[in-house]
Amino acid sequence: MVSMRILSAAEMQACDRATTERFGIPSFDLMGHAASAVASFAQQQFPRARRITVLCGKGNNGGDGMMAARLLADAGLDVTTLLLGSSDQDNHGLKGDAAQAWRELTQPMHGQVHSVAAPEDLEKCQSALACDLLIDALLGTGFKPPMKGLALAALEWIKAGLAPAVPILAIDLPSGWPADETGATLSSPVFPADAVVTFTAPKPAHVFGQLTRSWQQSVVVVPIGSPEEAIVSSLQLEWAGASAALTHAPRGSAANKGNFGHVLVAGGSFGPAGGKAGAPAITALAALRGGAGLVTAAVPAPALAAVSSLAPELMTWPLAATPTGAVSQENLAPDRLAPLTQGKTVLALGPGLGQDPETAQFVLGLLAATTLPAVIDADALNIIAAHTAQLAEFARRGARTLVLTPHPGEMARLAGTTVAEVQANRLETARSFARRHHVTLVLKGARTLIAHPDGRVAVNTTGNPGMAKGGSGDLLTGLIAGLLAQYAADPARAVEAAVYLHGLSADLAVRSSDEHTFLATDSLPFLSQAFRFYSRRANGYVWIQGLPPEAAPREAAL
């Protein structure tokens, strides 16, 4: 899987039309593939569900639900299907593929089938709420707000009568959620969901919205037959997890450490008033764990012992320090700088540096003096914030990759705006900054964005609130640097993969612990599982949120 483009509702409809009209795949076959995926997912994700109710609308989303209901009934489950539509002579108001799906469901009858013509008719179907799983197939990608009529009545009916423990599986989208919505939550009515199955490609709502009751519940994408040539989008949005495929190729049997790059971590401070030696240590360890062949941590000489004790595999380099333990500008002298950067392939700059005036001169001088690809984080970002006009110049040196990894506060300083304004318009803030300054910008937060200089933006969907602790950003910086060192020919995908794996390892970790007690380094033992985790399983599901049942982690030791 090279990439996964995110499509708008109109682009998804165009993709379906092209699949049928240009590539000759019947639309009813696409519906059949979608229904098969839903039925299979329902049985795998909710194996204890024996009584299933499928709530169908009159469009193609409802047709998916009808065909899934037939397949589940054929599998021996107790299935009740409710069609929300008037009971007239014109096949209940159904047309096209949905009408054919209804005929296959009812002739002969598969399970119990009812049509609901008016809101009051729902009260006659109370027994349908005595189920183990509810499948929401009312409104799909084509929905435009507001939700009204029978759909709104059905939502109130469910809220009043469905037991809280009964899970809801949404086909395509939770009914009432617009496909193009980029907000995390909605103020308008929307069906609850515990899992979502969509088809061909995610829509903006799938990657930005909290469609399920928790960020840890499943949202999956299933290919149903549309060829790659039909999946066309102008949004310039992609799902970051697809880039993890970059790391799936096995290493060559004759490989040596020189094949996987040498990361230089420059950071830290350590003086009489305290310091931050842990930050560069975490970054260096993450670069090692991420697969870099060699890692050198360059820290102020007083911090050297603390950092070097972390891992025997880690190399260290003493930097000249100021009397307060900060990095001195003396390190820019040619006789110091040349041996420091010789043989290095990637620079990770900033963790724990502090903002001493001499340190600021060191940061700017180092970026001006080298052509190394660089990951800039933490205090280095705050130093750069006063010199953003130089970013494009730094990036042009050797046509190198510059990666900035700000949290919203740092982004506000870089962009000269407020945190509130950044958070209100994260996508365009990241995209415009990356374009203007010719950098790759990783805007951290729930749904971290990776914006590239060409305008493309990848959206990451892994991670959890337990990561909101000190050290998490330092670990991410090391992972990005480690993957850049190994995959220098594809830096954009390397950055995306690092962000995805960072969140995924934390998701795996909290499955056996708790978000309150989780520390940034707790995810390191789970990096191996994250690297081995294939989002695309044998049956074709791609988990863009949550984890499949078999991904429960084994306990691991650091």
Please provide the CATH number assigned to the domain covering 9-233. 3.40.50.10260
> Which stretch of DSSP H or E encloses residue 349?
strand 346-349
pLDDT band at 537 (very low <50, low <70, confident <90, very high): low
* Residue 554 confidence (pLDDT): 40
Q: Check residue 86 and give its pLDDT.
A: 65
CA distance 74 to 12: 30
Do the strands 270-271 and 374-376 form a parallel or antiparallel pair, or are they unpaired?
Answer: unpaired
Mean pLDDT over 53-59 rounds to 96
What single DSSP character describes residue 241? G
Chain segment 161-214, per-residue pLDDT in tens:
999 999 999 999 999 999 999 999 999 999 999 999 999 999 999 999 999 998
Residue 145: Cβ-neighbour burial (10 angstroms; 0-12, 13-18, 19+): middle
- pLDDT tier at 476 (50, 70, 90 boundaries)? very high
pLDDT digits 0-9 by tens, 301-318: 999 988 988 888 999 999
| pLDDT at residue 298 greater than cutoff 80 | yes
- The kind and range of the H/E element at 450 are strand 449-451
- Tell me what pLDDT residue 550 has: 63
Distance in angstroms between the alpha carbons of the first and the last residue of the chain: 31
pLDDT at 2 over 90: no
Q: Which of 128-137, 187-196, 319-328, 525-534 has the lowest average pLDDT?
A: 525-534
Average confidence score pLDDT of the chain: 93
- The per-residue b/e assignment along 235-260, b for 16 or more CB within 10 angstroms, e otherwise, is bebbbbbbbbbbbeeeeeeeeeeeeb
Q: Across residues 462-487, what is the average pLDDT?
A: 96
As annotated, the residues of the chain forming the CATH 3.40.50.10260 domain(s) are 9-233
Q: Do residues 238 and 6 touch, judged by C-beta distance below 8 A?
A: yes
Phi-psi region of 238 (alpha: psi -120 to 50; beta: other; left: phi over 0): beta
Residues of the chain with CATH 3.40.1190.20: 244-249+256-531
Most distant CA pair in the chain: distance in Å?
A: 89
pLDDT tens digit string along 66-117? 999 999 999 999 999 999 986 454 556 788 999 999 999 999 999 999 999 9
pLDDT above 90 as % of the chain:
87
349-363, 413-427, 541-555: segment of lowest average pLDDT: 541-555
DSSP 227-279: -GGG---SS-EEEGGGGGGGG-SPPPTT--GGGG-EEEEE---EETTEE--HH
Q: Is a pLDDT exceeding 60 seen at residue 556?
A: no
pLDDT, position 539: 61
Higher pLDDT, 541 or 550: 541
User: Which whole number is the average pLDDT over 209-229?
Assistant: 94
Q: Is the pLDDT at 130 greater than 80, yes or no?
A: yes
Q: Say what the pLDDT of residue 164 is.
A: 95
The reported pLDDT for the residue numbered 249 is 87
- Does domain 244-249+256-531 correspond to CATH entry 3.40.1190.20? yes
Question: Per this entry, what is the length of the chain?
Answer: 558
CA 463 remoteness from chain centre: 8
Confidence of residue 558 (pLDDT cuts 50, 70, 90): very low
pLDDT value at residue 513: 83
Confidence of residue 1 (pLDDT cuts 50, 70, 90): low
Tokens standing for residue 136: 């929401």
Cβ count within 10 A of residue 124: 10
State mean pLDDT over 320-331.
Answer: 96
Q: SS3 breakdown of the chain: % helix, strand, coil, rounded to 5?
A: 45, 15, 40
Q: 3-state DSSP call for residue 230?
A: helix
Residue 227 clears pLDDT 70, i.e. is over it: yes
* Per-residue model confidence as pLDDT tens digits over 338-397: 999 999 999 999 999 999 999 999 999 999 999 999 999 999 999 999 999 999 999 988
Run of H or E residues at 183: none
